[in-house]
Amino acid sequence: MVAMPPALTGDPEGTLTDSAAELSAETHGISPGTAKGADAGGTPIRPQGTPLSANIAKPHVRGAAQKDKIEVKYGPCTPGTANCDGARTGCITQSGDPNYFDPPTVTYVRVNNGPWDAVRVSCGVPDSVTIPGAPSEPPVTVAVEPPPVPTFAQIQTAFKELPFSQPSVSVQPKGMRTLINLPTYYEASWPDDAGLEPGEVSKPVTLLSWTVEFKISARDYRYDFGDDTTSRWTSSAGGTYPDGDVTHTYTDTGDMDVKVDARLTGQYRVNGGTWQDIATTADLQDEPVDTLEVVGTRTRLTS
C-alpha cells in the first residue's frame, strides 16, 4: 500500500483497505452519484475482482443514518500540484510500470444533498467508500460504479476527427510554371492556420472520463501530377532543387491540376501520461488543387 498525500490542504489521509463492502447500497437507500472526469493513466493494475474501499473518518462529514442519502463522485487529481504529483509518483511506484497504473483520483462525498466534500486521494477509483454512521448506527458503505473509460477504437476515431490542416503543392521552377522535358520538383507544404499538422500536439480531448492528447506525424504522401499520373505513396515530403526527391517530367504542354494527398498518424497520451502509438491513419480529404502551367519554352531552375 502506498501512503498517499491528502487531496486538499488540511484533509487527513484516508486509509485504503482491501476489504469487501459489508453493507449493501440497497440496505441504506444510498445513491452512487456520478463519476465525473476520473483520471486515468492506462490499464488498471489491480486484478479484476479485487475490492478496494476508502474508509473515511473526516470530522466534518456528518455521520450517516441508514435512510440518509449518500452520494459519491470522483474527479482527477489535478496535475501540477504538489499533492497530486506526489500521489502520481506513488501510484506509478505501486504499479511498477509508468504505462499501466491506477492514477491518483479524488473522492468526493455528500450527505442529504449537502456540499460536496473532497475526502481523500487514492490510486484509481475505489469500489466503495465507507463513512462513519450516525450515533448508534453502523458505518455506511457506498458501492460505486467505476467511471466509464473509452475503448481504443474510440480513441482512434477521435484522432481521425481532429481538425487537421491540408497540405498544398509547392513546385520548382517557381511561379507554378514549368517546362516540358524538364524535371519539376514537388514539395508538400502545410499552411499556417489553426489546423493540426505534423509535429504539432492537439488540444486536450475529453473522452468519457479520460483527457486525451494527440501528437501528429505524417505517415505518407501521394503526389498527383495532373497528367493522369501520380507518385506512389511515399514518406517523403519532397523538396526543392537540387536535393528534392519527388520529381516529375512532363511530356505535353498545358494546364495541370496538381495536388498532394496526405495520410497522418501519430501518438496519444492520457492525462499527461506516456505517449503511445495511435496505430491508425487519418486519410485527409479534399486537399487543395493548384494549376501548374507546362510550357515549351526554357525555364531556368533557381534555388
- Domain layout of the chain by residue ranges: 15-143, 152-295
- Cell triple for 222: 501521394
Predicted confidence at residue 183, as pLDDT, reads 96
Rounded CA-CA distance 285/303 in Å is 31
CA angle 71, 271, 73 (to 5 degrees): 0
Predicted confidence at residue 302, as pLDDT, reads 64
Q: Which helix (H) or strand (E) holds 152?
A: helix 152-160
The contacts of residue 43 (CB under 8 Å, 6+ apart) are 100
Q: Which helix (H) or strand (E) holds 89?
A: helix 82-95
Predicted confidence at residue 65, as pLDDT, reads 56
pTM over 0.75: no
Spell out, as residue ranges, where the chain has pLDDT lower than 50.
1-62
In the CATH scheme, what is the code of domain 152-295? 2.60.40.10
Predicted confidence at residue 31, as pLDDT, reads 28
Predicted confidence at residue 209, as pLDDT, reads 74
- Cell triple for 154: 474510440
Cα 98 off chain centre by: 16
Q: Phi and psi at residue 297, in whole multiples of 5°?
A: -100, 155
- Cell triple for 20: 469487501
Predicted confidence at residue 235, as pLDDT, reads 97
Q: What percent of the chain has pLDDT above 70?
A: 72
Tell me the three-class secondary structure of 244-258, residue by residue: CCCEEECCCCEEEEE
Predicted confidence at residue 303, as pLDDT, reads 61
